[in-house]
A = this chain, B = another copy of it.
Amino acid sequence: MKVQLGARSYDILIGRGVMHGAGRTISARLPKARLAIITDETVARLHLERFRDGLDAAGIGHVCLPVPAGERSKSFPVFQSLCEQVLDARLERGDAILAFGGGVVGDLAGFVAASVRRGMSFIQVPTTLLAQVDSSVGGKTGINAPQGKNLIGAFHQPALVLADTALLDTLPDRDFRAGYAEVVKYGLLGDAAFFEWLEVNRQGVFRGGAERDEAVARSCQAKADVVAADELEGGRRALLNLGHTFGHALEAAVDYHTERLVHGEGVAIGIMLAFEFSARLGLLPDLDVGRVKHHLTGAGLPTRLSDIPGQLPPVDVLMDSIAQDKKVSRGELTFILVRGIGQAFVERGVDPAAVRAFLEEKLTQ
């Protein structure tokens, strides 16, 4: 599969075992490049040795830069430390940063690749479902600020994405489910047929095998199409944020404590809120809301604010996070709303009072 971006086009290779050909695949695209592998300690323990063996066999020089697992590594101090380690390893502009991990590792490593020497080559080897279907494709990179998630970063496209679906066999159930929220999102935002396919094949996707590979491939294709049409999020790309404005606010509300909420869970609740809020505005029938809720809960995903363990902050704090979202423009709230399954659209100038009243009600349910 190819992401069409002119001179910045790149391939996504998807399937069981594609990781094992990584050495040859990388050598063919970036001859003589050395690699800095940024990974997290969990992934390193499970998969790094075999991955390095493959690189050694292909004669690719590399250094490994592990970071602690979890969202908190997307911080200024870790970013600075990685930049300095890459420089210490004497990697040059033509060398590459390789992200070997989930979304956190990919976002962080991508921003390092964008920034060291004003831009080095970048390779994504995503090891989670979320990273394979979403964050590894499209070039969004970044770290978190005290004011919110992903507020500091760059658009920096990878030169290659290797999505080895066999790596998902060792993924904890909770992380697989969380990634599945992003898969469902592609159906809900613009492809009702894909959502229907998921309604039929969800269990196959969770079990692994051909359905899983197909779900990953269809998701990547959906993302690649949107990115090719709108690389820098001037318009249509914003649809990919379905569920994310609410979701980000919830992640901030738990201070990014992943024991309480991981990104995909925030997206699942956020999608549900976007559907319910759209229904409240009279945009779509309650039937569609019910279908989405049924599918997400069937997949074991949270759909209500009360599904988040512990106390949530008051509505003011949530509204404040929403106002800091990157999608805010000239102080106007912008949301991705829906007219039905597969029919998301960008709504500017959403009334903050309506959002606040809606959230206040949801906080007490």
Contacts and interface: CB of A to CB of B under 8 A. Distances in A.
A145 B145 CA distance: 21
A145 B83 contact: yes
Copies of chain A in the complex: 2
A49 interface: no
Contacts of A153: 115, 118
Interface in A1-60: 32
Overall SS of chain A's interface: mixed
B326 A88 contact: no
A330 B94 contact: yes
Interface residues of A, number: 37
Contacts of A324: 87, 90
Given A80-B76, A87-B151, A154-B154, A326 B146 contact: no
Nearest to A34: B330
Contact of A119 (B76, B80, B154): B154
Given A115-B152, A115-B153, A154-B115, A326 B84 contact: no
A127 B47 CA distance: 53
B155 A118 contact: yes
Interface string A79-108: 010011001101011100000000000000
A189 to B, nearest CB: 21
Given A80-B76, A92-B329, A118 B87 contact: no
A140 interface: yes
A88 B146 CA distance: 9
A63 interface: no
A117 interface: yes
A88 to B, nearest CB: 7
Nearest to A141: B118
A308 interface: no
A116 interface: yes
B117 A151 contact: yes
Interface string A123-162: 0000000000000000011100111101111110000000
A140 B232 CA distance: 20
Interface in A295-332: 323-324, 326, 328-330
A150 B115 CA distance: 10
Nearest to A118: B153
A159 to B, nearest CB: 14
Contact of A87 (B88, B93, B145, B232): B145
Given A76-B76, A83-B151, A118-B150, 19 more contacts: A83-B145, A83-B152, A84-B147, A87-B146, A87-B151, A90-B324, A92-B326, A92-B329, A93-B329, A94-B330, A116-B151, A116-B152, A117-B151, A117-B326, A118-B153, A118-B155, A119-B154, A119-B155, A154-B154
23 contacts: A83-B145, A83-B151, A83-B152, A84-B145, A87-B146, A87-B147, A88-B147, A92-B328, A92-B330, A94-B329, A94-B330, A114-B154, A115-B153, A115-B154, A116-B151, A116-B152, A117-B151, A118-B140, A118-B141, A118-B142, A118-B150, A118-B155, A119-B155
